[in-house]
Amino acid sequence: MATTDKQAAAKQAAADKQAAAKQAAADKARLAAIAAIKRDLPQLANPEAYVTTANKADLAGARKEYLQTNLGLDPNLFKLGASYNIPLANKAYAVKSLGLDYTKFAKSGYDINQANEAARFKELGVKDVESLVDKTGKFSNASIASAEEKLIKDVYKLDPANFAFSGTVVVGQRPNPVTGKLENITQQVLKYDIAKAGQRFESARPKIETTSQYPENFTQAVNNYSKAFEAAISVGLENINDADKATLQKLGRTVRDFAGKNISENQSDIIDRINDVDETINNYDAQRRITAEQARNIPGTPEYNALTAPEKAAANAAWKLNKDKNAAYSKLRVDRESITRLATDAKNLAP
């Protein structure tokens, strides 16, 4: 009986040892599977969930989870045999990180250079910029021209035709038949001067900030006007635009709204000075416009240099017809001096 018990105990011990060895092997395999998943997808939050009951790494399942959860991509777009193309997906994620619809760039292999070109216009305010991506998934020269046109028309609210010109772009390379050296292949394309369009857009934006709340009394109205006028002087009267001028006139009216039978002599003087400022600024603005129009037609002036290609062509034609160019230069100089005097007068009249 004792012998039988010993045999049973030995048999059990052997079985336990075998089970322990089997469990150790399983644990080792499981850890190896987890390590394999971590190497493949270090950002995956729960690699343990993708170890099979056989302690094998389910890389396909882990990659699908990574694409969906970590990258926010459609896994079906990156299917590669029984698994998924992670390097390609990472490229798509880089495009997606620019705030773009990455699927539009699929045929270009999610080319980040193409996406950066599109993102540049998206940042400038062009809406639905992905609709301009061509059938090959590229933001081509034609795409860029369309984006420039949309930027000028929809964002800057200007006429694209005034900023259009024919430009040369490099579309490839080929060997020189004589020297064998690579030469650029160029093509004439329609382009737009978005730099000048942007400058005009910025120049038209209000530079004087003021409260929209109506003043409660005469003193508050005068303070509002004075702050706005100081801002105009700080910016430079030559840099204020129609919106700024309208702001000053509106604030001047609020001061005059408090005029009446009971105003003091000092208050009356302030209102008179504001009226004088308005008149002087109107004269200044009128003279500035006339002078700017003259200067636009004289090559070499800042106003001429700020013109677009179509505008310069018209200015050049007008300049050729000018029979007394010296007189034009002299008149421009006199008119600029007049502008300077009017600006000084306006500053000295500040209430």
**CA separation, residue 351 to residues 176, 239, 266, 272 (Å):** 72, 21, 11, 9
Show the CA angle centred on residue 329, arms to residues 325 and 334, nearest 5°. Answer: 145
CA distance 164 to 277: 40
> How big is the chain by its Cα radius of gyration, in Å?
37
Helix axes 242-256, 265-296, angle to 10 degrees: 160
**Contacts for 136-139: CB closer than 8 Å, 24+ residues apart:** 136/107, 136/108, 137/104, 137/105, 137/106, 137/107, 137/108, 137/109, 137/110, 137/111, 138/105, 138/107, 138/108, 138/111, 138/114, 139/114, 139/115
**Could you give phi then psi for residue 46, rounded to 5 degrees?**
-130, 70
pTM for this entry: 0.71
Cα–Cα distance, 317 to 310 (Å, whole number): 11
What is the C-alpha separation between 337 and 331, in angstroms, rounded? 10
Distance CA 229, CA 55 (A): 78
Residue 308: helix, strand or coil by DSSP?
coil
Angle, CA 122 vertex, CA 120 and CA 124 arms, to 5°: 75
Structure tokens that stand for 210 in this block: 């003021």
pLDDT in tens, the chain (351 residues): 566 877 777 777 777 677 777 777 777 888 888 888 888 888 888 888 888 878 888 888 898 999 999 999 999 999 999 899 999 999 999 999 999 999 999 999 999 999 999 999 999 999 999 999 999 999 998 899 999 999 999 999 999 999 998 877 676 788 888 888 888 887 777 889 999 999 999 988 898 988 889 999 999 999 999 999 999 888 888 888 889 999 999 999 999 988 876 788 888 888 998 888 888 888 888 998 999 999 999 999 999 999 988 899 999 999 998 888 889 889 999 988 888 888 888 777 666
Residue position matching structure tokens 């699927």: 103
Report the pLDDT value the prediction gives residue 103, as an integer from 0 to 100: 96
Long-range (24+ apart) CB contacts under 8 A made by 80-89 are 83/59, 84/60, 86/40, 86/41
Contacts 24+ apart (CB under 8 A), 82-90: 83/59, 84/60, 86/40, 86/41
* CA 245 remoteness from chain centre: 29
Q: How many CB atoms lie within 10 A of CB 91?
A: 20
Buried b (16+ CB within 10 A) or exposed e, 169-199: eeeeeeeeeeeeeeeeeeeeebbbbbebbbe
Residue 36's pLDDT is: 83
Closest to 344 in 3D by CA, of 287, 259, 293, 300: 287
**Cβ atoms of 199 and 347 closer than 8 Å:** no
Q: What pLDDT was estimated at residue 345?
A: 80
The dihedral built from the CA positions of residue 155, 159, 160 and 162, taken in this order, carries a sign that is negative
Q: Supply the DSSP string of 40-99, one letter for each residue.
A: H-TT-S-GGGGB-TTS-B-HHHHHHHIIIIIS---GGGGEETTEE-HHHHHHHHHHHTTT
Q: Distances from the Cα of 81 to the Cαs of 60, 62, 304, in angstroms?
A: 10, 15, 62
